[in-house]
Amino acid sequence: MTQSQVTTSKDTSPAHRADWIEAIAFDADGLVPAIAQDAESGRVLMFAWMNREAVEKTVKLGEAVYFSRSRQKLWHKGEQSGHTQTLREIRLDCDGDVLLLSIEQRGGIACHTGRESCFYRRLEGGRWQVTDEVKKSPGAIYGDR
Amino acid sequence: MTQSQVTTSKDTSPAHRADWIEAIAFDADGLVPAIAQDAESGRVLMFAWMNREAVEKTVKLGEAVYFSRSRQKLWHKGEQSGHTQTLREIRLDCDGDVLLLSIEQRGGIACHTGRESCFYRRLEGGRWQVTDEVKKSPGAIYGDR
């Protein structure tokens, strides 16, 4: 993992803004998949979607902002849990239709189940075996609602 | 990264097969996103889609088989380029709708542009800067067609 900071543009003119965001090929729903990877360990922590506004806010804030398909609105990761994701760098794939975020995961918990990574199940012997412990219970993270 | 082998099921009865594949939540198009990560370096190499058959073949073969949305057919990665991906492990996320593959990338090239990773562009100063060299030209990989 490189240690370089994401350079957020100080020039907010539409023409300049367009330079990089226009290279992103959003799908028919206006979304692009985003993979969040821990900047230090390299572990893939989660996968979510972004719309154009989410991408812009992510780069501007320097924290991951996704688009919740279930709630159909922007979702500033950690807004409830405190488990924000500080953006270290953002990459675009060859087809321009997938983003890869290198992030610092606050609290060391990305998953709503209270685990470090959402990918806590591994296929072993024809079963999905849970490999990760719950670091903090969802009740403790979100409050019992 | 763990070094454990993927245990492919020897019991091919439908009931047993269903145990793990039924846990995968395919989308309305019958697809699930799949992230391929280098088992050694931890680098995210590519992102693609799988249908049910692709997932089954991947686990059975021990090599990544995707579903090409553009060609609407199974795509055994490396079938043309030789850049196959040996499956080390496969993980499922909390919602059951994203797969994470830990793979050994043959030839060290996952991208059709001849680069190690499809994520070879990083946002720097409001531009997507290419960070990776082409290790082998597409012409040399696929033959000039």
**Closest residue by Cα to residue B37 from B69, B85, B5, B76:** B85
Confidence of residue B19 (pLDDT cuts 50, 70, 90): confident
Structure tokens given for B98: 């994203």
Instruction: Annotate B38-86 with DSSP letters as a single string.
Output: ETTT--EEEEEEEEHHHHHHHHHHTB-EEEETTTTEEEETTTTTS--EE
pLDDT digits (tens, 9 = 90+) for B54-93: 999 999 999 999 999 999 999 999 999 999 999 999 999 9
Burial class, A97, CB count within 10 angstroms (exposed 0-12 / middle 13-18 / buried 19+): middle
Q: Which of A8, A17, A44 to mutate to probe the B interface, most B CBs <10 Å?
A: A44
Q: Is the Cβ pair B122, A46 closer than 8 Å?
A: no
Of A33, A111, A121, the CB nearest to B91: A121
Task: Note whether A73 contacts B: Cβ–Cβ < 8 A.
Answer: no
The model's pLDDT over A87-138, given as tens digits with 9 standing for 90+, comes to: 999 999 999 999 999 999 999 999 999 999 999 999 999 999 999 999 999 9
B126/A16 Cβ within 8 A: yes
Average pLDDT, rounded, for chain B = 90
What number is the average pLDDT over the span A28-40?
Answer: 98
**What is the predicted pLDDT for the residue at B87?**
98
Name the minimum distance, in Å, from the CA of B12 to any CA of chain A.
10
Q: What is the ipTM of this complex?
A: 0.88
Let me know: does B110 contact B45? Beta carbons within 8 Å.
yes
The pTM of this model reads: 0.88
